[in-house]
Amino acid sequence: MEDSYGRLNSRLQKINEKIAEVDRIVPVDDLHREAIKEARKTLVDRKNEVLADKKIGDDFLTAYREAEQAKLNAKWAEDAFNKANDYHEKLKKWLIQKYAVSKNPTDEERAAYAKSWEAREDAAKINNQRQEDLKKSLDKKKGSLQKYNVVTRKIKYTFPADNDITDECIPCKAVERRRKLERIMAVFPGQQSFGNCGIQSSRQMIDLMSCNKTDEMDETDFFKKALRNGNADLYDKSGKKILQNVDDTANEDTRNKLINDIQPVRKSGDPVSSGGIGQSRGRKADEEAVKHNNKIINTNQTGSSKIPLIRKIIEEEKVFSTEYPHTRNNIEKGLKMNLVMIFAADVSKLGPAEDENGQPVETWLYTDYGFGGNGKIIHKPGDAKQSGGHAVTVADGKFDSSGNLTHVLVSDTGVGMIYYMKIEDFESSLFNDPMVVSDEPMKVNCP
């Protein structure tokens, strides 16, 4: 009870502080003024939600105290009845024994007997009433407890982190909302060169979690590092998986030779296309390097990483994460807390995609009809181009005026594009694997 109250009060205090902070902001223009107004409305709504939760806690506390008092009252009434009953029965027994023959007690004795009988009856009535009061009180407590348990579960499980009861800096978001989006765009590495979607998703989390840039190390160097450390799969050109085995010298020589022979396809010094959301973004591939790599490894398969290995890649760069179920609530909470998330998705369901203005974008799903040479339809809007597992990064989204998540911003190195997806569609694309969530918020303001 104390813990839940403390956390609710802490949340309430923080929201009040943010409301005061919003009230101190001087608007720059009408758009900013609307943003401030919306920020205050959102904070007040959340304050009311906390107050409602706190009232449920107050109601339960009142019901609990009433039940405890009712227990005492019932015990006192029961003891009083037992005492009155014992006295009456003893008096009755004494009179019977004393007047067994004459059966003619005195007026005083008759009065005493009548008084003890009345006292017992009064005590019985009070006891019955107190027992009934206790039953009602316990029923009320039970009903309040059910509501209170919902609140405590909400506090505990809304998002499994110590600061799940704090509120994100809404005043800061009014100022920095675009800055966060620009930061995500800046670290996006573009089109992947291998089957290294998990590695490239890891790079994005690492970059977003620090102001260091792994982009200074070209994609292939980071890719090779993951292969050498056993954090990604390696396949030769025939599609044979070359497992890591440090005890097998010949095997390791083969692995190391393959890894060393991989040439960089996209280098950090190459120019980056400046496509926006829903547009191709990244560096142009070196065709000769692509041809070379295709001769020595299966580039589509090499570099694949499961969720546990993705976490290892991240941890080796001193960025720490936790696995959580990809529930709507967890995704929403994570984005509001500026956390970075990596998901395992089915590319055949990764769409429809949208640009910043809600216009359709072609990624893994076709957005138009396709016709063969005979004029027959070979694909239609919504058809998948391919299937298979794929890792993507999500660090932002869109929210409606009530703060509900409507879209997620998908950073997808498979198509070399950042795009929005409706949360319902995105959820439908996800495998059962847990999502990888950064333990700390992303760094928005980097020099």
**Ramachandran sector of residue 284 (left: φ over 0; alpha: ψ -120 to 50; beta: rest):** beta
**pLDDT surpasses 80 at 239:** yes
pLDDT of residue 312: 93
* Mean pLDDT value of segment 333-352: 93
Question: What is the C-alpha separation between 385 and 365, in angstroms, rounded?
Answer: 6
Among 30-34, 140-144, 275-279, 428-432, name the most confident range. 428-432
Q: Looking at 188-232, list the stretches that DSSP marks H as alpha helix, in order from N- to C-terminal side.
A: 197-209, 219-228
Task: Tell me the average pLDDT of the chain.
Answer: 82
Nearest Cα to Cα of residue 122 among 71, 70, 87: 87
Is a pLDDT exceeding 90 seen at residue 398?
no
* pLDDT per residue as tens digits for the range 272-281: 566 678 787 7
Residue 265 has pLDDT above 70, yes or no: yes
At 159, is the pLDDT very low, low, confident or very high (cuts 50, 70, 90)? very low
How many angstroms separate the CA atoms of 37 and 33, rounded? Answer: 6
Could you tell me which residue, 374 or 391, shows the higher pLDDT? 391
Give the side-chain half-sphere CA count within 13 A for 215.
21
Say whether pLDDT at 263 is over 50.
Answer: yes
What is the tens place of the pLDDT at every residue in 161-208? 334 434 455 555 565 666 777 888 888 887 788 888 999 899 999 999
* Region of residue 318 (left: phi > 0; alpha: psi -120 to 50; beta: else): left
Q: What is the mean pLDDT of residues 270-298?
A: 77
pTM of the predicted protein model = 0.61
Range in 16-20, 121-125, 416-420 the model is least confident about: 16-20
**Sequence letter at residue 268:** S
